[in-house]
Chains A and B, each alone.
Chain A
Amino acid sequence: MALAKRIIPCLDVDNGRVVKGVNFVGIRDAGDPVEVARRYNTEGADEICMLDITATHENRDTMVHTVEAIAGEVFIPLTIGGGIRELEDIRRMLNAGADKVSINSAAVFRPEFVKEASQKFGAQCIVVAIDAKNVGPEKWEIFTHGGRKETGIDAIEWAIKMESFGAGEILLTSMDRDGTKNGFDNDLTRRISDAVNIPVIASGGVGTLDHLTDGVKEGGADAVLAASIFHFQEYTIQEAKETMRSAGIEMRV
């Protein structure tokens, strides 16, 4: 027995509502992030990730209330991302009951922000989100603004730099695979996982349960993140765990 690989369902939230159409049977209000989080907890999710997709100033208070509500009844780790730009944003989310925050474009604009955040709150709660695109053979670069804006930064060098700046974990999304259901970019995941000593969460492209297994076995991911396959009840988290365990992966079931 050993440390288990983690399955992390991800909710995209806009102004207090789950978007990208969650379609659950047996849930009263499928747009309520608290109900959805409760459901995932019951199914055995190892953590929950919630991304504020618009992250406007007005939405911020709504997000804080949502985090408070989830943290009051779901007792597994909760990561909040989207619009985390200042130390004050982190403090508010942690005080509301989040365990980790995910920093994305703010790290690209000003890498020292990651250092300051890690020193102030501890590396264990600082996740750096990396959105990467393949730009040539064995070469990936960081993109911001949902994959629209290139930065010219090499993804592997960036991951190493973020670890040295105090990131506690990396949430790695392949912008090429995101939404395709063709599976993770396992080459990218493997390259980054081997380059750093902190855990790497693979994200982007899950369409089948075998894709989750591949993310761990081929990509070397420590955790796998998925949204739509769980939201639409194509598969439950329990089924995902059974499949991965049958493939010889250590899971919490």
Chain B
Amino acid sequence: MTSRSVAVIDYGMGNLHSAAKALQHVSPETKVIVSANKDEILECDHVIVPGVGAIRDCMGEIKRLGIDAVISQAIKTKPVMGICIGMQTMLNFSEENDGVHCMGIFEGEVRYFGTDLRDEQGEHLKVPHMGWNNVYQREDHPIWNNIADGERFYFVHSYYVELANQAQSIGSCTYGHPFDAVVARDNIVATQFHPEKSADAGLQLLKNFLDWDGGLS
């Protein structure tokens, strides 16, 4: 099954066009919309929660526009994917901006890498974590189809996800210490990296998402 339509939720936080263009590229026959409209979003059979920027602004806009209600509706009925800050909005809480309560779709918190992050050799690591890093597959999942274990994806973030339930962590990355790079439960999946900026591996992952029924059919 390939998606007939996918909504990229537009809550005013930056560049959503990359995600939309990448989705259209991997699936030319799929209708890709960028929208904040509840009905338009819920009419689609796949939903993407993207985002860049800071968490307080993101959560502020999500609440102001009623997007939280749209997302909680969507996760009952269709495959939903969070990307980067879109992933972080799905946790309980983020340390960013002096602490922000998020949607709590996954149990866990979002933490700061800190200013004294070091690798195994004791070398100082810069923050943000920016660039291509390896992602190791901890659990089988349809999102990993045709993607090599340890493949590199493009990250840009200063805060990372720490899940309470590690069984939901299906992909792990290490920057100073291991963190949860891909999380999944039921029909929901989320990535800390940007698949829409991760060349062939990222495009494959987006295609896998569009091909995924979320286990709902």
Interface set of A (CB-CB < 8 Å, partner B): 1-6, 41, 46, 71-73, 75-77, 94-99, 121-125, 168-169, 197-199, 222-223, 252
B131 lies within 8 A of A197 (CB): no
Looking at the complex, which one of B18, B22, B133 makes contact with A3 (CB distance below 8 Å)? B133
Across-interface contacts of B119 in A (CB, < 8 A):
2
A2 to B173, CA, bound (A): 9
A1 to B135, CA, bound (A): 10
A77 lies within 8 A of B175 (CB): no
B158 to chain A minimum Cβ distance, whole angstroms, is 8
Interface set of B (CB-CB < 8 Å, partner A): 14-15, 17-18, 21-22, 25, 52-54, 115, 119, 125-134, 150, 152, 154-157, 174-175, 196-199, 202-203
A124 lies within 8 A of B25 (CB): no
Across-interface contacts of A2 in B (CB, < 8 A):
119, 133-134, 174-175
Residue of B nearest to A122 (CB): B53
The SS class assigned to the A binding surface is loop
Across-interface contacts of A169 in B (CB, < 8 A):
130
Residue of A nearest to B15 (CB): A94
Looking at the complex, which one of B15, B53, B155 makes contact with A97 (CB distance below 8 Å)? B15
A197 lies within 8 A of B54 (CB): no
A41 to B129, CA, bound (A): 22
What are 22 A-B contacts defined by CB distance under 8 Å?
A1-B174, A3-B125, A3-B131, A3-B132, A3-B133, A76-B154, A76-B198, A77-B154, A94-B15, A96-B17, A97-B15, A97-B17, A122-B14, A122-B52, A122-B54, A123-B128, A124-B52, A124-B157, A168-B128, A168-B156, A199-B131, A222-B131
Looking at the complex, which one of A71, A122, A199 makes contact with B18 (CB distance below 8 Å)? A71
- What 15 new A-B contacts, CB under 8 Å, besides A2-B134, A4-B133, A41-B199? A1-B150, A2-B175, A3-B129, A3-B155, A4-B132, A6-B131, A71-B18, A71-B21, A77-B154, A97-B17, A121-B53, A124-B52, A124-B156, A125-B52, A223-B131
B132 lies within 8 A of A6 (CB): yes
B199 lies within 8 A of A76 (CB): yes
A189 to chain B minimum Cβ distance, whole angstroms, is 14
Across-interface contacts of A72 in B (CB, < 8 A):
21, 25
B91 to chain A minimum Cβ distance, whole angstroms, is 19
Across-interface contacts of A97 in B (CB, < 8 A):
15, 17-18, 21
B14 lies within 8 A of A94 (CB): yes
Across-interface contacts of B157 in A (CB, < 8 A):
124
A3 lies within 8 A of B127 (CB): no
Question: A4 with B196: in contact, given A46-B132, A197-B115 (CB under 8 Å)?
Answer: no
The 7 closest A-B CB pairs, nearest first, are: A122-B53, A252-B132, A1-B134, A124-B156, A94-B15, A4-B132, A3-B133
Residue of B nearest to A94 (CB): B15
Across-interface contacts of B174 in A (CB, < 8 A):
1-2
A99 to B199, CA, bound (A): 14
A4 lies within 8 A of B152 (CB): yes
A71 lies within 8 A of B17 (CB): yes
B133 lies within 8 A of A197 (CB): no
B175 lies within 8 A of A3 (CB): yes
A125 lies within 8 A of B14 (CB): yes
Residue among A3, A71, A72, A77 with max Cβ neighbours from chain B (10 Å): A3
A13 to chain B minimum Cβ distance, whole angstroms, is 20
A54 to chain B minimum Cβ distance, whole angstroms, is 25
A95 to B130, CA, bound (A): 21
